[in-house]
Amino acid sequence: MPQRILIIGASGQVGREMLSSISESMEILPTYNETALNGGTRLDVLQELNVIDLVLKFKPNIIINLSALTNVDRCEVDKDLAYKINAMSVKFITRAAMVNNSYLVHVSTDYVFDGEKGMYKEDDFPNPINYYGLTKLIGETFALSYDLSLVVRTSGVFGGKSNFPKFVMDNLKKGNTVKVIKDSFYSPISAKFLAKAILDILPMRITGIINIAGERISREDLAKRIGSRLGKEGLIDIVNENEMKWKAKRPRDSSLDISKAKKLISFNFYDIDKNLDTLGD
């Protein structure tokens, strides 16, 4: 029998890449909430009975949860919604996975860390400094309460319409100056490579936590690489964080140690330039 995979939140950038990369031998049920998806099933992850009902009807071997409220400033303002989507819905999905004995893969974030040291390993102690990170950490806790679960921590996912590299590229192409904060490090990865990497390790049925992200780089250097590709480096303006007028604090260095993933994943998912190449896809 083919593997049945339920992809929750498949209408997002990682979900769409996953659907385009997944083996045709697998039986897929993609879900969406607000953004319609051809062939998808609408699912409100805040309705626990709906989640359990869908899982019991489809009986997936694997559940991949990509749903999240990832706008960091919005999470700081609309805390109730952030908690419901990033924490409580994971509790509901985890319960449904338990009932059906499904393998659960839940995608989380580098923002569970405070950014004081960087290059965080899977077993480093989390200490979020914004509400987004806190809700994602609580979601991780719910997922990890189930023995057949894997939490994938990632960083700065880009692809689709709304993300830092795309913002930089689009504005530079228009001849606009781009403000980039200095001394800010992370481990960005394209949605395409993240999706492929998750699919690559699915057969291994790893449990616990794994970091899947790109190489450590500063946002300044990343912007300059994009600028260099376009011949527009002169339009990049390096500023202090307090000039950005964000509502939520950002960790200074939320880069992730990906040593574990490098040993398990069969392709180079972490090279920054290879990841940036996907922006033209």
Confidence class for position 243, pLDDT limits 50, 70, 90: confident
- Residue 260 falls within a domain, yes or no? yes
238 pairs with which residues across the strands?
180
Percent of the chain with pLDDT over 90: 90
Report d(CA 218, CA 186) in Å as an integer: 6
Return the exposure string of 110-126: e unless at least 16 CB atoms fall within 10 Å of the residue's CB, then b. Answer: bbbbbbeebbbebeeeb
Mean pLDDT of the chain: 95
* 106 membership: H or E segment, kind and range: strand 103-109
Q: Is the dihedral of CA 44, 48, 54, 55 positive or negative?
A: positive
- Residue 97 falls within a domain, yes or no? yes
- Residue 178 falls within a domain, yes or no? no
Percent of the chain with pLDDT over 70: 99
- Residue 235 falls within a domain, yes or no? no
102 secondary structure, DSSP code: -
Q: What count of residues does the chain have?
A: 281
DSSP letter string over 34-87? Answer: SS--TT-EE--TT-HHHHHHHHHHH--SEEEE------HHHHHH-HHHHHIIII
Distances (CA, A) of 196 to 23, 76, 163, 213, 217: 11, 31, 19, 12, 21
Confidence class for position 281, pLDDT limits 50, 70, 90: low
Q: Domain range for residue 59?
A: 4-161+186-217+254-280
Q: Is 167 helix (H, G, I), strand (E, B) or coil?
A: helix
**pLDDT digits over 117-147, tens only?**
999 999 999 999 999 999 999 999 999 999 9
Return the exposure string of 239-260: e unless at least 16 CB atoms fall within 10 Å of the residue's CB, then b. Answer: eeeeeeeeebbbbbbbbbbbeb
- Residue 80 falls within a domain, yes or no? yes
Over residues 210-232, mean pLDDT: 96
- Residue 181 falls within a domain, yes or no? no
Confidence class for position 75, pLDDT limits 50, 70, 90: very high
Over residues 15-39, mean pLDDT: 91
- Residue 271 falls within a domain, yes or no? yes
Domain harbouring 85, CATH code: 3.40.50.720
Q: Is 185 helix (H, G, I), strand (E, B) or coil?
A: strand
Confidence class for position 72, pLDDT limits 50, 70, 90: very high
Over residues 260-276, mean pLDDT: 97
Decide if pLDDT at 280 tops 80.
Answer: no
Domain count, the chain: 1
Strand order in the sheet with 103-109: 41-42, 27-32, 4-8, 62-65, 103-109, 149-154, 208-211
* The pLDDT of residue 200: 97
Report d(CA 143, CA 148) in Å as an integer: 9
**pLDDT digits over 189-200, tens only?**
999 999 999 999
